[in-house]
Structure 1
Amino acid sequence: MISVEERGSVPVVTIANGPVNVLDLETLRELTAVLVGLESAPALVVTGAGRAFSAGVDLKRLIEGGESYTREFLLELAGVFRAVFDHPRPIVAAVNGHAIAGGCVIAAGCDYRFMSAGTIGVTELLVGVPFPGAALEAIRFVTGPRTAALVLTGRTLKPADAAAVGLVDEVVAPDALLEAALARAEAFAAIPAASFTMTKRALRAEASRLMADGSVDEVIAAWNSRPVRAAIEGYVAGLASRS
């Protein structure tokens, strides 16, 4: 589900789970382990396989797995968000297609984001689930005062509009995406490691503190409540009827 390919000195981490790279428990665990294992890499690029970066949570697995799965999943999801956001080395996102909900949060946690296709946004409230605190701080870090409108409306944006609000830094053609991301990663890697890491830590200190202060238990209880689970089931049924 997660592959790592060395491109020169830069590992390219690719999310590959089904047609749109959904996030399930196993994918999250593997992604966290890969990121931890690359904490001494010069820099990283994170991308998605095929036509999507990541379409976010595997809602069908969430329904099928019940309350115990949901609890484990949300704990791992918060862990992935922190593993990306607090990673000591530079991470560049190559957003090759749709980056929705959790996929958007992973991209937002990176240090620099290129996007070439698809849409990006946080659609949690459209599904009917509360927005986790760790995810909120990652989005707020890059979109600032626009965060509330993005979160409350669940609006998804095409690349140029995403760049205008700070969700991505540069829009590039699909055939130039990976090379642009690698070039930026190599430029970051050329900075002395201690200098980059100390500066990154200082820039993100307040957001990281707020991520750590959030109550995951409260989020888990809400996602497992009867009204929220009914909303998830209704959303999935609506997707199935439109397909």
Structure 2
Amino acid sequence: MSLIDLPLVELTNPDPTFPTLFLLRLNNGAENRFTLEFVHQITAALDFVESKLAELSDDDSKRGGALITTSTGKFYSNGLAIEAAMEQGEKFYKPYLAMLAQLLTFPLPTIAAINGHAFAGGCMFALAHDYRVMRADRGWMAMNEVDIGIPLSPGMAAIVKCKINSPNILRECALAGHRFKSSDAVAAGFVDRAVAEDQLMSTAVEYAKAYAIKGKNGGKILRMIKQEVYRETVIILLAGGIYPGAYLAKL
């Protein structure tokens, strides 16, 4: 049963013996495309988890916690609902980029259990997590904007650059729109493990429990560390600029 009443996401505790382990299941249709309402509901779920951290007993607070996200079926997320996003402009992009910033600096360790394809905005959502586990037998991660004719906003480019550090891999990802299967993504360094479908959730839980202690005491220190490690990316994400190359007008 979901801990919060939201139709497009399901937030549960998959292990009753570990009350600060949270599972956020994306549930916006078969493709989990990001709409404004979907973004608002994910943000509401993240806010809910943060509110629960403030209410923990001393014992639970010392234990830490973690957040896993996943979905079901063919897609983890197929990116933005493009037509709606383009029509809404900043009304859509500001909340979407703010959600990525919140996830990037979340006070608990975060693990993306990537059950299927993670394209474009879905790839960025996965990259905003601390750890990524991917099905070995199905699914690609790709930034395919170059192929569908959509430019990257400054925040979108920043989230990719902060997690893909090799210039050659970044080139293949952002400029060539390469589709990385799980083994390629692991070799490239931006996915941690590739596992069989029936091991996906257990592996994500393994990561969650292994790193949960890093989010002790409500994750206050972990959040501050993330805020500084990803400082430049967070500044760009929250700046609100959505126009690629706008800085060139100031030169």
TM over 0.5: yes
2:119 to 81, 85, 100: 100
1: CA distance between counterparts of 2:106 and 2:112? 13
Q: 2:165 is matched with which residue?
A: 144
2: CA distance between counterparts of 1:164 and 1:221? 31
Q: 2:236 is matched with which residue?
A: 213
Q: CA deviation at 1:211?
A: 3.0
Of stretches 145-154 and 93-102 in structure 1, the one that deviates more from structure 2 is 145-154
The structure with more helix, counted as a fraction of residues: 1
For residues 23-46 of structure 1, the C-alpha deviation after alignment (integer angstroms, 9 at most, x for no partner) is 111001111111122122711101
Q: Does 1:7 align with 2:18?
A: no
1: CA distance between counterparts of 2:114 and 2:220? 23
1: CA distance between counterparts of 2:162 and 2:219? 18
1: CA distance between counterparts of 2:225 and 2:33? 32
Q: Percent identity?
A: 25
Written as runs of structure 1 = structure 2, the 5 A alignment for 1:17-56 is 17-39=28-50, 40=53, 42-56=65-79
Equivalent residues of 1:2, 1:31 under 8 A apart: yes
For residues 131-168 of structure 1, the C-alpha deviation after alignment (integer angstroms, 9 at most, x for no partner) is 12222232222220222331111111110001111221
Q: 1:158 is matched with which residue?
A: 181
Q: Does 1:133 align with 2:154?
A: yes
Q: Does 1:16 align with 2:27?
A: yes
Equivalent residues of 1:28, 1:80 under 8 A apart: yes
Equivalent residues of 1:81, 1:135 under 8 A apart: no
1:110 to 118, 123, 129: 129
Of stretches 12-21 and 146-155 in structure 1, the one that deviates more from structure 2 is 146-155
Structure 1 pair 53–198 and aligned structure 2 pair: CA distance change class (3 A): same
Structure 1 pair 219–90 and aligned structure 2 pair: CA distance change class (3 A): same
Which TM-score applies when normalising by structure 1?
Answer: 0.81
Q: Which runs of 5+ in 1 are unaligned?
A: 223-243
Q: 1:87 is matched with which residue?
A: 106
1: CA distance between counterparts of 2:67 and 2:26? 13
Note the aligned Cα RMSD (angstroms). Answer: 2.4
Q: CA deviation at 1:17?
A: 1.1
Q: Which runs of 5+ in 2 are unaligned?
A: 1-7, 54-63, 247-251
Which TM-score applies when normalising by structure 2?
Answer: 0.78
